[in-house]
Structure 1
Amino acid sequence: MKRKILIIEDEKSLVNVLQDNFKQEGFSVVVAYNGEEGIEKFYLESPQLVLLDINLPKKTGWEVCKEIRKVSTLPILMMTARDSDEDEYRGLDLGADDYITKPFNLKILTLKVKKLLKLDDVSIYKFEDFSFDAKKGEIIIENSSIELTRREIQFLEYMIKNKGIIFSREYLLNEVWGFDFDGDDRVVDTLVKRVRKKMDKYSYLLKTVRGMGYSFDESKN
């Protein structure tokens, strides 16, 4: 499964360069040329990352970032021709994950995108007939592939990287959802149920520790 990037930028020549670059890097690319179209494409296309210009027609990058952050924690990387600490601070304050100033080096931009998507991590876990590929966003059990949502990927990747450690619901909310999440910690239980269902006969790997939380443990006890 290719990672999908939504580019929201009104400069068509730059969009063409960015499209070619990210397609060569193996990404799926969706484009919007103004802020309103960008928000529409965000809801329609469910991208894994948004590359967002600040100076956009119809809705500014600030407005788009704020709108997306109301409903999603996906990575947002802001682009601007301005070179101002105030702009950088404002973008990060609104919830952007990173910032790059035009003109920029495509290699540096690509590295930033891969870092935000954690594509530089060792991402394949295997146990018996079970494997999890964080880059592709899938579980494979006996050669059958099951796709995961972004949140399921984040959660399972975090649990596997910290095998044997027991995490409380509150801790997992901070680590997987983020410190600004103000929902109920029962969302953790709901996510665990979804992931276990997809793990099928290997659901026992994701253990409930009564009164404490959850852990990823390869023992069958």
Structure 2
Amino acid sequence: MKKILIIEDEINLANSIELFFKNENFQLIVVHDGKKSIDKFYNEKPDLVLLDINLPNMNGWEICNEIRSNSDTPVIMMTARDSEYDELRGLELGADDYITKPINLKILLARVKRILKIDDKSSYYYNGLGFDSRTLELTINNEKIELSPKESQILEYFIRNKGLVLSREKLINKIWGFDYEGEDRAVDTIIKRLRKKMGIFSERIKTLRGIGYSYDEDKA
């Protein structure tokens, strides 16, 4: 799960960004004071910083300069100022991008994902359950759950084929390979373990008796 530090003194805006990005499976730290943000940055080590310019006690230009002097952590400047000078100044200080207010949260999300190189096909999140196929990390309501390699492979295959009926044979060929000579019930055992780890979301994996399984993300 990627961690974002929001440095913004407009509380309503900061809260809106925090809620929106939490629902997209990010971890958020929010600071409203410029000076306090420096300690938060070094203590929390975020993957990206969303930085306002007009802040109490220390402005965004100074914070960006401090961050860039000691780190290559991506920074997106956020400001109500809409001038070429401000944009150029931010980029010259080392900011990676610049967005003006009022902020469109979907556009901001797209920019964050681009900078962090998050591929929507590799990162899945829906209504409390998240899975990253690159790190094989499952999260249940922001709690990390450790999966075995086979559990990860099956969950990824379910998510990529949600709503489709997947037979045991198809799952075995995809996960174990066409030359697999073991018991076809091995897939049932792995799915049983996976369901247990999915907790309240276990019903998303539906058993179709005599046919196989399907993934229904609207369950739970």
TM-score by length of 1: 0.56
Q: Which residue does the alignment assign to 1:116?
A: 115
Structure 2 matches for 1:118-133, cutoff 5 A? 118-120=117-119, 133=134
1:134-177, Cα deviation, whole Å (9 max, x unpaired): 696xxx9x84xxxxxxxxxxxxxxxxxxxxxxxxxxxxxxxxxx
**8 Å CA contact 1:123, 1:135 repeated in 2:** no
* Structure 2: gaps (5+ residues): 124-132, 138-145, 150-220
Q: Which residue does the alignment assign to 1:168?
A: none
Q: Aligned letter for 2:46?
A: P
Q: Which residue does the alignment assign to 2:74?
A: 75
Q: CA deviation at 1:123?
A: 5.9
2:78 alignment partner, SS class: strand
Percent pairwise identity: 56
**Greater C-alpha radius of gyration:** 2
Kindly tell me: are residues 85 and 36 of structure 1, through their superposed partners in 2, closer, same or farther at Cα, counting changes over 3 Å? same
- In the aligned structure 2, how far is the partner of 1:135 from the partner of 1:44? 26
Residue-pair matches, total: 133
Q: Which residue does the alignment assign to 1:51?
A: 50
- In the aligned structure 1, how far is the partner of 2:115 from the partner of 2:36? 23
Q: Aligned letter for 1:15?
A: A
Q: CA deviation at 1:15?
A: 0.8
* Structure 1: gaps (5+ residues): 125-131, 144-221
Q: CA deviation at 1:60?
A: 0.4
- In the aligned structure 1, how far is the partner of 2:17 from the partner of 2:109? 10
Structure 2 matches for 1:120-159, cutoff 5 A? 120=119, 133=134, 143=149
Q: Which residue does the alignment assign to 1:19?
A: 18
TM-score by length of 2: 0.56
Q: Aligned letter for 2:89?
A: R
Q: CA deviation at 1:21?
A: 0.3
- In the aligned structure 1, how far is the partner of 2:26 from the partner of 2:47? 10
Q: CA deviation at 1:16?
A: 0.9
- In the aligned structure 1, how far is the partner of 2:136 from the partner of 2:69? 26
Q: Which residue does the alignment assign to 1:212?
A: none
Q: Which moved more, 1:25-34 or 1:113-122?
A: 113-122
Q: Aligned letter for 1:68?
A: I
- In the aligned structure 2, how far is the partner of 1:36 from the partner of 1:77? 18
Q: Which residue does the alignment assign to 1:28?
A: 27
Q: Which residue does the alignment assign to 1:99?
A: 98
The root-mean-square deviation of aligned C-alpha atoms, in Å, is 2.4
Kindly tell me: are residues 89 and 4 of structure 1, through their superposed partners in 2, closer, same or farther at Cα, counting changes over 3 Å? same
- In the aligned structure 1, how far is the partner of 2:10 from the partner of 2:23? 20
**8 Å CA contact 1:81, 1:101 repeated in 2:** yes
Q: Aligned letter for 1:63?
A: E
Q: Aligned letter for 2:83?
A: S
Q: CA deviation at 1:133?
A: 2.2
